[in-house]
Amino acid sequence: MSNIDAEDMRPEYDLDALGESVQGKYYKGYHEGSNVVVIEPDLARKFPNVQAVNDVLRKFLELR
């Protein structure tokens, strides 16, 4: 990852307006309440979004 100078940033990326940032602030909560599943690239191309994946999985369970 490269360093970016402040003058390279767009005006809408006003990080000063955010105040103090804290690294990892939501890390623990995210991992406690998250079910992230990574699918292979060939499958990802077949499912354009999370809703499509959920619909197929529900249908699969219904037909089982």
**Position 6 pLDDT exceeds 90:** no
What does the alpha-carbon distance between residue 64 and residue 57 come to, in Å, rounded to a whole number? 11
pTM of full prediction above 0.85: no
In a domain, 42, yes or no: yes
Distance of CA 1 to the CA centre of its chain: 19
In a domain, 1, yes or no: no
Contact 45, 36 (CB under 8 A): no
Confidence of residue 8 (pLDDT cuts 50, 70, 90): confident
**Full residue range of the structural domain in which residue 61 is found:** 37-64
Q: What percent of the chain has pLDDT over 70?
A: 83
Report, in angstroms and rounded to the nearest whole number, the Rg of the chain calculated over CA atoms. 19
In a domain, 45, yes or no: yes
In a domain, 32, yes or no: no
37-60 pLDDT, tens digit per residue, is 889 999 999 998 989 999 999 999
The pLDDT value recorded for residue 18 is 64
Structure token pair of residue 12 = 């809408």
In a domain, 30, yes or no: no
In a domain, 48, yes or no: yes
In a domain, 57, yes or no: yes
**Number of structural domains found in the chain:** 1
**Position 4 pLDDT exceeds 80:** no
